[in-house]
């Protein structure tokens, strides 16, 4: 019998969507991160983010490195923005009863994607 994924352990898409809604409640209040979501279709964003977070927990939805780069390339996200996202994600996961070791595993999966999300300075 195979080991359950964190996605299965924590209730699948229905629970992950609750985590994502809480995540955005916090992010939208942030002076640094909130403006990234001005003029964004939040229903669509929550759907995409639910699939992304689900994939970090070993769920069925995933994005390729190229998709992540393409989706974030125009946003000028820097390392401090990414770090704030990690802090908010950690707090949100913990608030939703995700065990500390599992939170660390999810944050590591998120960190592994930093280079695809954080914009690189343009060299002329």
Q: Evaluate if residue 65 carries a pLDDT over 60.
A: yes
Q: Evaluate if residue 11 carries a pLDDT over 50.
A: yes
Query: Token digits for 25?
Result: 């409640």
Q: Evaluate if residue 121 carries a pLDDT over 90.
A: no
Convert the pLDDT of each residue in 84-119 to its tens digit.
Answer: 999 999 999 999 999 999 999 999 999 999 999 998
Domain boundaries, the chain: 6-117
Q: Whole-angstrom Cα distance, residue 106 to residue 100?
A: 10
Q: Evaluate if residue 66 carries a pLDDT over 60.
A: yes
Residue range 19-26: mean pLDDT, rounded: 96
The answer for residues whose C-beta is within 8 angstroms of residue 111's C-beta and 6 or more apart is 86
pLDDT band at 124 (very low <50, low <70, confident <90, very high): very low
> Quick one: fold of 6-117?
Globin-like (1.10.490)
What pLDDT shows up at residue 26? 95
């Amino acid at each position: 019998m195979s080991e359950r994924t964190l996605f299965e352990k924590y209730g699948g898409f229905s629970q992950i969507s609750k985590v994502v809604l809480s995540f955005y409640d916090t992010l939208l209040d942030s002076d640094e991160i909130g403006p990234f979501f001005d003029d964004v279709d939040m229903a669509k964003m929550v759907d995409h983010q639910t699939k992304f977070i689900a994939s970090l927990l070993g769920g069925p939805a995933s994005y390729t490195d190229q998709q992540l780069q393409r989706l974030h390339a125009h946003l000028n996200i820097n390392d401090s923005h990414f770090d704030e996202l990690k802090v908010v994600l950690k707090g949100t996961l913990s608030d939703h009863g995700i065990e500390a070791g599992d939170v660390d595993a999810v944050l590591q999966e998120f960190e592994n994607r930093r280079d695809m999300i954080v914009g690189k300075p343009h060299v002329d």
